[in-house]
Structures are given as structure tokens and as C-alpha cells.
Amino acid sequence: MGKRTPSGIPGKRLVSGGVFLGLVLVTLTPAAGRAPAWPLWQAFKARFVTYDGRVIVRKERDLRTVSEGQAYALFFALVADDRPVFERLLGWTRRHLAAGDLARNLPAWWWGRHTNGRWGVKERRSAADADLWIAYTLIQAARLWRVPGWRREGLALARLIASREVVRPRPGLTLLLGGDKGFVTHEGYLFNPSYPALPLLLALARAAPRGPWSGLARELPAQLAAVCRNGLCPDWALWLPGFGYGLPLAREGMGSWDAIRVYLWAGISAPASPGYRAVLRATDGMGRYLRRRDAVPLQINIRTGRGGGGQAPVGFLAAILPDLKALGERSVFASLRARLAAFRVRDGLYARPPGYLPRYYQNVLVLFALGFLDGRYRFADDGHLVLPWYPPRRWMLRKPAVPYLPRLTQFDSFQENRCD
């Protein structure tokens, strides 16, 4: 490689050689590769993703990063065929959340600024939903981008999930807990109904047939039917030895920020997947609720069916759209989609009311929902990811060259992504 100037920018010798050709190739090949341009993903990256691959939750004072955010961004980068950003997200996740090795360590769920001003992991325990999405996305990325090492890494992470976050309370019953620590309580086994998504379980069952994934996929419809009341789902639920499924007393059977994803996952699953119809039936309460009322609730009491908590954020409107379409609620679907369009703000993201600043989680839900409805991705019957840009044409197979850019420091990353 050629000499570098003191500033870290390539010198004349390097620019006149291979890097000049690399710059030409980058000019000819869009950063998002073979996929059609996805303006919403570009806007999300610009606001929430640092150059070194960290997704920032801006509304929190510690400017935290959560493993869920890294997992979702990895999935969106794959859908967009945005491999350079995918690799930076994966590298940051490995280094800062998994102590450098996702094959041996579950990612810590919370990283941010400590009260002493230092940056690092703030809570070491894992979050099973993030871990599941990372393992799934690595396996799919290995197939779509032809990187066998990512498949091995994804399978190793799946084995960690199986050994530390999956339990079998009785013969024939398999549960995905909320994480590796703190989810076996005096009440029972605590789990989140929004953590296991049917396509992910089916794909992992195919990739790792000796794992618990087939059992989790078979159990999911019965689990949702047991903990969701009248088709409305709670944020958290329990399995109590000797009694079966129930609801935690402290949470009063409320569904809100977590539960909204149960409807989203049901809506984006493949109709011919095993268990799909049963999952859709178990989660059809929000469609009936919106048929009678004009607004998506921020929270809903699944026992009484009463909504409350004020105005739902914009992501809730988006998240319910695929479910409404799958249920055949055409008029409600059309009304909500038109309403959602009104909350798009100047930078291409979504915020409600329009004068508010866009939030990370709300735009994650919008990316999932609109990406699916616009045909940017779908899931096959066995859960594997289907993208319009794959299989590629022969001339597209070569990875585009990326010009050298100096690596940002921790401080640079913070300064480039100021708090809202």
C-alpha cells in the first residue's frame, strides 16, 4: 500500500494507483449496490448511524446504543444491499457489545456514556430479540453476499441463544426468555411475546435443525393464543410451573411499545408458512379494535379491550399496516396509510406531530412496515429472506471498492451525532 500523509489521507502515489480506480468504481456503482434506492434507509443512516457503525438512541441522555438497534440496522442494510454499512455495524457490535467475538459472547443490550463521562457497556445482560435478529441476519447475509464466515458466526450465535436464553420448563414446551439473566423469577419464566418472529424461527430451524427452533416455531401459535386476549397482545407474559401461561401482576396485562411488534411480525410473515394462520388469528384483535375506533392506542388493556395513554406515536401506525392488510381490513388500512404519509418530515423520516424530532424506534417500525409493503423484502415460506436484487447479475458479483477514510475516534463519533 502507498504512503500516507500525516493527516491520514492517501498521498499522491496511492491516489494515482489502485485507489483512483476504486474511486471510479464507486462512482459507477451506487453505495447501496444492486438494490433500488431506499430514501428512508438513507435518511435513517444520516440521522442515527455513525460512520463507525453505531446506532444512537438520541432521545436518551446517555446517547445510548442498544443491541436491538444494531440488529435492526444490520437487517435494513442487508435489505438495501448496503454492504459497507453492514460491515461497520457488525464490526462495532462485535467490538463493543460482544467483547470482540459474537461466536462466544451474547451482545450486551445497553452501551452508552457513564456518569463519570466514560463510554462503555452499562448493562451486560443480553436481549433475546436482538440476538435472534443478529443471528438470522448473519445467516441470510452469508447466503446473499456469499460470505461463508458470517454463516458460521450466525450459527455459533444461535447456539449461544439456545443454551442461555431458551428453556424447556416441561417436556414438549420450549420458551425463549427475555435474555440470559433475570428472567426466571419467583412468579415463573418471564418472556416477551414480541421477541420470537415466525420467519426467524423457521429459518433457524432449517439452518440448525438440531437446535430448539422447530419447537419454538411450533409453540408460537399456542403461546400467542394463550397470552393474547381477544386477539390483543401484552408486552410481557409468564409461564408458571403447574399453571401454564399467565400475565405478570406488576404489568396488569398492558400492551404497548413491545406488543406492537407482535402485530407487525404477524403481518410480514409468509402466508404459506407453517403456523401463519394460527398466529394471525391469535393477534387479530387490533384489526377489530380499529374497525370500531379511529385511532391506534398508545397502550391497550388486553383484559378489557380499552385503549388509553394518549396519542400513539407514528411508528405504531406503520407497524399495524401489514397486519391490517393480511387481515383484509382494506378501509382501515387505506385510512391509516394515508394518515401515516402526513407525518413524513423534511429529512425523509417520520415524526408525530410533524414538528417533533424523528425518533429511532418509531422509524425502525416504519422501515419494517413500509419496506415490506413497498416490496423491498419478504420472507419465504421457510423463513429465508427474499430480496428483489438477488440473485445478482454476473457483473454485479464483485464487491465495489471503497476509498480509504480515516477511522473516527469515539469523540469524533459523538460529535458527528449530537443529541437532539
Structural domains for the chain: 41-408 (1.50.10.10)
**Lowest-confidence segment of 293-297, 387-391, 407-411 by average pLDDT:** 407-411
Q: How far apart are CA 379 and CA 267, in angstroms?
A: 11
Q: Is 416 a residue whose pLDDT tops 70? A: no
Mean pLDDT, residues 14-35: 42
338 CB burial (10 A radius; 0-12, 13-18, 19+): exposed
Query: If pLDDT is split at 50, 70 and 90, which confidence band does 20 have?
Result: very low
Mean pLDDT over all residues of the chain? Answer: 87
Question: End-to-end CA distance of the chain, in Å?
Answer: 40
Mean pLDDT, residues 359-374: 97
Mean pLDDT, residues 110-134: 95
- Residues of the chain above pLDDT 90, percent: 76
**Lowest-confidence segment of 28-37, 71-80, 373-382 by average pLDDT:** 28-37
Mean pLDDT, residues 306-333: 94
Res 392: pLDDT: 66
**Lowest-confidence segment of 151-160, 265-274, 293-302, 387-396 by average pLDDT:** 387-396
Query: If pLDDT is split at 50, 70 and 90, which confidence band does 413 have?
Result: very low
Res 294: pLDDT: 78
Mean pLDDT, residues 77-92: 98
Mean pLDDT, residues 39-54: 97
Q: How far apart are CA 399 and CA 206, in angstroms?
A: 28
Q: What is the CA radius of gyration of the chain?
A: 22
Res 255: pLDDT: 96
Res 354: pLDDT: 63
119 CB burial (10 A radius; 0-12, 13-18, 19+): middle
Query: If pLDDT is split at 50, 70 and 90, which confidence band does 39 have?
Result: very high
Contacts (Cβ under 8 Å, ≥6 apart) of 65: 54, 55, 56, 57, 96, 97, 110, 111, 112
C-alpha cell at 66: 442498544
Res 33: pLDDT: 53
Query: If pLDDT is split at 50, 70 and 90, which confidence band does 308 have?
Result: confident
Question: C-alpha 44: how far from its chain's center?
Answer: 13
Res 393: pLDDT: 55
C-alpha cell at 55: 446506532
Apex CA 142: angle with CA 137 and CA 147, to 5°? 140
Catalytic residue numbers? 68, 129
Apex CA 359: angle with CA 355 and CA 364, to 5°? 130
Are 236 and 188 in contact by the 8 Å Cβ rule? The answer is no
Cross-strand pairs, 55: 49
Q: How far apart are CA 415 and CA 50, in angstroms?
A: 10
The pTM of the full predicted model, rounded to 2 decimals, is 0.86
Mean pLDDT, residues 256-283: 97
Q: 174: part of which helix (H) or strand (E)?
A: strand 173-176
Residue recorded with cell 399495524: 320
Res 250: pLDDT: 72
| Residue 328 to residues 11, 94, 288, 335, Cα–Cα distance (Å) | 61, 42, 11, 13
Are 263 and 320 in contact by the 8 Å Cβ rule? The answer is yes
Q: Is 405 a residue whose pLDDT tops 60? A: no
